[in-house]
Structure 1
Amino acid sequence: MEPARKRRISPVWEHFDLISPKKVRCLVCAKELGYNNNTSSMLRHYRAFHENEDEVGASSSHATRKQELDEALVSMIVKDTQPFTIVEDIGFRGFVSKLDPNYVLPTRQALKAMVEVKYEAEKEKTKAKIQKAAAVSLTSDMWTSMNLDAYLAITCHFVGEKSKLCSVLLGVQEFPQSHTAENIAHEKASLMAEWGITNKVTCFVTDGAPNMVACVRELKLRHHICIAHTLNLVVKKTLEQNPILSGIRAKARKLVGFFRSSTTAKEKFTQVQLHMGMPVRKLLQEVETRWNSTYLMLQRLVDLREPVGAALAGLQHDIPMITSEEFKIVEGCMSLLSPFYEATVELSAEENVSASKVIPLLKMLEQNLQEEMTKPGPPAALEMGEVLIRQLREKLYTLQSMSIMSLATLLDPRFKIIGFFSQTKATEAVKRLTAECSTIIRSQQTREDIPQASTSNEVTGGSKLWHRLDVSVMETRTSQNATVDATVEVQRYLSEPNIGRLENPLEYWERQQLIYPTLYKLAIAFLSTPASSVPCERVFSKAREVVSKRRNRLKPKTVEKLLFLNKIE
């Protein structure tokens, strides 16, 4: 019983086990020691061999905990676009102290250094991913901050592991020089070289600004103009050409402005919605440059016309109310514009394949407009529908002839030929796809084959006189074989049934890459191309949060690092 009594009293028994009346075993190193009813030998052993280990372990555990908290702090700064000075705020320091009194917050300079370390590490990881990509597509746009600093942003899109569509921010660089095509092209070329993608770019997507278009031409790359911008111009121009709807929009802007600027009107509007048992919603004001904001403004007014009318009836004002006839016109126009709004949202998505949807979506837009035009409606709405159809034909039908759009549509197993609204254009696209496929097959043949064959006795018979003719015959035969192989692969693929519209085309190509090896390479290149330059606009939306009044002294390089990390978080 004596050992048991001492075991309860002496702390050293936490590290030893009694294995017999005369022996103990160290729980740290498993060494066995003699035991004679006292713990002296056990204490000497523990102090000599293990006491420092515990201190090191405790120190290591503390260091690990600090590292975890430091990383969480950096992540918060990046995700929530918080200023570095937050570590100096009294309230934040008190909050952290309550959570973990042992954690010492880093200084503002140390926190900034930690962000830079994370940026370098994540950039190297991202570079490694991009190096594995067979092809990439880029989007680009420019932005001016609240400090009037100009920035050029480029995002990169490619198919990564497990057929996942990946999007990476390559850079948001300060651009103090003149915004000429040559200067922009030079910056883009430098950035592509830095990331090692100069020879991998399938397509560059930008808005329709002349300097951006000329810049891509300078780089000698495939190019297409952002479809979201094109749709915006089509609808915006149509809205501006309709005088009746323009008058209704002017009324709507005044009405919305009244409820947003008057505290009394705002409170009355809220009370009316609550009294009617409706969820409280605010009216939306349009933004002059975005047609979808006009759509949302008018749609919200239609949804809330009853509480709007009731609120106005109880207020003193000189705001003209939209009449019931005008609401009918708005509803007719909303019915025509609703598919355009859906198309804009779908074509602006980053997570899904989008370039291949452009031609099929435009086909669906035209068919939807034609169907709506057969229904009775206000003359102003029907007039707008006719203008929309005309604008579509003028601006968008040429997309069927663009190699990027047509090839992406064919290579999307959801659409193929069915996606086109012109059979002639579909046939031209098939020929273009076969030619692309044939080029890849020819390039796969080792370049040494023709020279070796041309110098062999089998081909030239050792005759120097017939050498050139024999080589030409060999090259023609190789070209013909490549064309035949390409035709067979393309026709076999096109003859297969289309997959469902909600299925993932990249997963299809992952399964079929051994059956259609050449088309797989083309699919990976063309299906990664985004339909719009919206990814860059999203970067700049976040940039407005980063370069705020509270953080207006951030250096451009720091802005770039924060935006890069925010994109991958």
Structure 2
Amino acid sequence: MSAVWKYFSLETPQSKTARCNVCKAVIQRGGSSLASYNTTNAIKHLKKHHIKEHEDFLVGGQKDNGSRQESLLESFQKQGKLQADNVKAIGITEKLLNFIVLDDQPLSVVENPGFRSLIEHLQPRYSLPSRRYLSETALPELYSRVSNKLAEKLKGVPALSFTTDIWTSDVCPMSLISLTVHWVDSDTHSHCSAVLQVKKCRGSHNRATIAGSISEMLNHWEIPLEKVHAILRDNARNMKAAMEDLAVPNLGCFAHSLQLVVHEGLMSQRSVSDALANSRKIVGHFKHSQLAQSRLEDLQHEMQGTGTTTTPTRLVQDVQTRWNSSFYMIKSLLKEKRPLCAYAADHNLPATLSANEWGLLEKIVTVLEPFEELTRKISSATSTAADVIPAVTVLTRLLAEENSTDSGIKTMKSTLLQAVSRRFSSIESEPLYAVATLVDARYKDRFFMGEETARSAKALLTQELEKMEQALLRASADEAGATEAEPAEKVARMEAGPSTGSPPSTSKSRFSSLYDRILEEHDEPAVGTQAAVIQMQMYLKEPMMGEKDSPFQYWANNHARFPLLAAVAVKFLSAPSTSVESERLFSTASNIVDEKRNRLTAERAEMLIFLKKNLPMFK
């Protein structure tokens, strides 16, 4: 309907005349029948008698529903396809590429009939780009933009930590070596991480290949070795040797070491390993037989009671290379003990569990629960090297405690304790761990096993503070044109304010409850006279933060009071406790290089992995 009818009204649709809504004049509609009626007289009337209304009509007027009626030029433009340089087309292409990257879609999705039909319905004027354009133009351009933003963000960071790992595809002959970067933002004191690079690893994975690949990646990003605070790697010999060749500070993955500790404990006692083997056979029986699974589900429903909407628990199959999967398997068996016993009474199983073995499984769960809690804690994105020494101290105390429930698993507990002591015997003398623990306001000097190691750690921290003091003084002198810098002693003697930490939670697990007890068993630090020692003394005397509080938030609130300590914390809390980030990265790689994309080149795979992890940071 023409916009002119906003200004006129009809008595009936067949009326030969129309009445002006402005002046109430009656005009002829023109023509001799309904089919030949037109709006010429109405438009002339507006032009002659109502100039303002006529101008409104010329720019399109308003439809009855209140939306602006498009002009003839706009209507004509909508008949053609959007040009490639059109702002709207560029925006759609960018969102399309984001969809492919973030949702692990193949680049060939633009060739799928269903997807093309969807885009045609949503925006008929948009022309989908070709797969080749996305692969050779759009993807490299997006990769370049995000890379430049990440490089700019890393420029002002004084210390960087890294994790690295090697992944080999199951669907094509491709090996990739990763380098993820971790740092603490100096302004917000928040923990940040990003994928730096994923590089094709050619030839044998020996020390020279690994060291060369990491060196090339650091050079590509213009990161000098002096900025490398630590590299987290697995415990393989080739990785250790490569770090020696690079001559950079490095740490083994704490989670890998913990895996070896628990594996030793589980395999040390014949009764425990037999119970696990039988459990594995039982779970495997239901995993490989749909009939057996259906019968078990019927028993589960029956024992849950009629009318329940709870879904029966599925048994968990363990993976022998991951001890916590065995822990979850045992828990799922214990939860479904009654249905399983009822099933065994009427049907054959490849193995059964005696009453003693059921009891043994319950005790195994009790012993391994702290390990499972610790594994979850250190696998979080914010876990740092500061978590290692307190965790080992707590585990040692737990395993050394004798309980009446230890009957039947004493050998296992003893082996676990010996393995913890052996594999982590030197962590308190490792500066990367010791200093990180001290600058974490949840731990400070309370979790060292002895007074001597605590004193040594404080000496290491003092050295770092003095080095940081000299560096800050030099930087201040350079910025002020070599003018005299404010003495650090004046800064160090700033009046201490209230602690920002919150009290620990009252509801504690066995693993967490020992933290509070250990906090009470420490000596006051010695009073020093130097600026660095004064800051350290004031900091260590303050009340502790709660276990669940954030050390990064503490330094965000207190960096002005303890500038030297805050600078050291930014450096040492950048190091994670595990190389889990690299392992998670290759879970992403498995989703990208799969059966449907087994011909993807290493360069394209690197771009997709890089963007998948880093794009959300810069959106």
Task: Tell whether 2:187 aligns with 1:187.
Answer: no
Instruction: Indicate the residue corresponding to 2:239 in structure 1.
Output: 212
Distance 1:183 1:28 in 2: 75
Within the alignment, does 1:196 sit opposite 2:222 as a pair? yes
2:101 to 78, 83, 97: 78
Unaligned stretches of 5+ residues in structure 1: 31-49, 450-481
Residue 276 of structure 1 pairs with residue 309 of structure 2: no
What code does the residue aligned with 1:368 have?
L
Q: Distance in 2 between matches of 1:566 and 1:447?
A: 37
Superimposed CA distance per residue, residues 450-499 of structure 1 (whole angstroms, 9 cap, x where no aligned partner): xxxxxxxxxxxxxxxxxxxxxxxxxxxxxxxx982212222222122222
Q: Once superposed, what is the RMSD of the aligned Cα atoms? A: 3.2
Tell which deviates more after alignment, 103-112 or 75-84: 103-112
Q: Which residue of 1 aligns with 2:201?
A: 175
Which letter maps to 1:249? L
In the superposition, the TM-score normalised over structure 1's length comes to 0.83
Give the alignment partner of residue 287 of structure 1, picking from 306, 309, 319.
Answer: 319
Question: Which amino acid in structure 2 is aligned with residue 254 of structure 1?
Answer: K
Within the candidate set 435, 450, 461, 2:463 is matched to 435
- Cα–Cα, structure 1 residues 545 and 173, in superposed 2: closer, same or farther, change >3 Å? same
Q: Residue 213 of structure 1 aligns to a residue in which SS?
A: helix
Q: 1:205–1:530: 8 Å Cα contact kept in structure 2?
A: yes
How far apart are 1:428 and its partner, in Å? Answer: 0.6
1:388-427 equivalences in 2 (<5 Å): 388-427=416-455
- 1:257 paired with 2:280, answer no
Return closer, same or farther for 1:276/1:80 CA change in 2, 3 Å cut-off: farther
Q: Distance in 1 between matches of 2:246 and 2:390?
A: 30
The verdict on how the C-alpha distance between 1:26 and 1:517 changes in structure 2, with shifts beyond 3 A counting, is farther
Q: Distance in 1 between matches of 2:604 and 2:557?
A: 42
Change in CA separation of 1:107 and 1:378 when aligned onto 2, cut-off 3 Å: same
1:100-120 deviation line (CA, Å, top 9, x unaligned): 444433222123232222221
1: CA distance, partners of 2:569 / 2:371: 27
Read off the aligned partner of 1:332 and give its amino acid letter. K
* 1-structure distance, mates of 2:131, 2:476: 60
Equivalent position of 1:87 in the other structure: 110
1:346 and 1:354 in contact (8 A); partners too: no
Structure-2-length-normalised TM-score: 0.76
Per the TM alignment, residue 168 of structure 1 is displaced from its structure 2 partner at its CA by 0.6
Q: Residues 225 and 328 of structure 1: is their aligned pair in 2 closer, same or farther, counting only changes over 3 Å?
A: same
313 and 184 in structure 1: CA distance in 2 versus 1, 3 angstrom threshold? same
Which of 158, 165, 186 aligns to 1:134? It is 158
Using a 3 Å threshold, how does the CA distance of structure 1 residues 247 and 2 change in structure 2: closer, same or farther?
Answer: closer
Shift of 1:361: 1.5
After TM superposition, the structure 1 = structure 2 runs for residues 79-478 of structure 1, keeping only pairs within 5 Å, are 79-112=102-135, 113-146=137-170, 147-160=172-185, 162-198=188-224, 199-277=226-304, 279-315=311-347, 317-350=348-381, 352-371=382-401, 373-379=402-408, 381-446=409-474
Q: Greater helix percent: which structure? A: 1
Distance 1:306 1:274 in 2: 12
Q: Distance in 1 between matches of 2:613 and 2:443?
A: 31
Letter in 1 for 2:387: K
1:287-330 CA-partner distances (Å, limit 9, x unpaired): 12111111111121111122222233333x35121112101111
Helix, strand or coil at the partner of 2:183: strand
**Aligned AA (1:189):** S
Amino acid in the other structure paired with 1:567: K
1:20: Cα distance to partner? Answer: 9.3
**What letter is aligned with 2:218?**
M
Measure, in 1, the Cα distance between the counterparts of 2:272 and 2:257: 21
- Comparing 529-538 with 128-137, greater Cα deviation is found at 128-137
How far did residue 551 of structure 1 move?
A: 0.6
Q: Give, in whole Å, the separation in 2 of the partners of 1:556 and 1:142.
A: 14
Superposed CA offset, 1:487-539 (max 9, x none)? 22222221222222222111211222222212111100111110000100001
Q: CA 1:426–1:65 in 2, change beyond 3 Å: closer, same or farther?
A: same
Structure 2 runs not aligned, ≥5 long: 1-18, 30-37, 60-70, 305-309, 478-527
Aligned counterpart, 2:547: 501
Distance 1:534 1:301 in 2: 28
Q: How high is the sequence identity, in percent, across the aligned residues?
A: 29
Distance 1:162 1:18 in 2: 64
- Structure 1: how far apart are the matches of 2:197 and 2:582? 10
Residue 131 of structure 1, CA deviation: 1.4
One-letter amino acid of the counterpart of residue 141, structure 1: D
Contact 2:110/2:128, CA 8 A, preserved across alignment: yes
**2:372 partner amino acid:** Y
Cα-to-partner distance string for 1:147-191 (whole Å, 9 max, x where unaligned): 132110110001135222111111111111222222211211121
The answer (yes or no) to whether the contact 1:438–1:483 under 8 Å persists in 2 is no
The amino acid that maps onto 1:207 is D
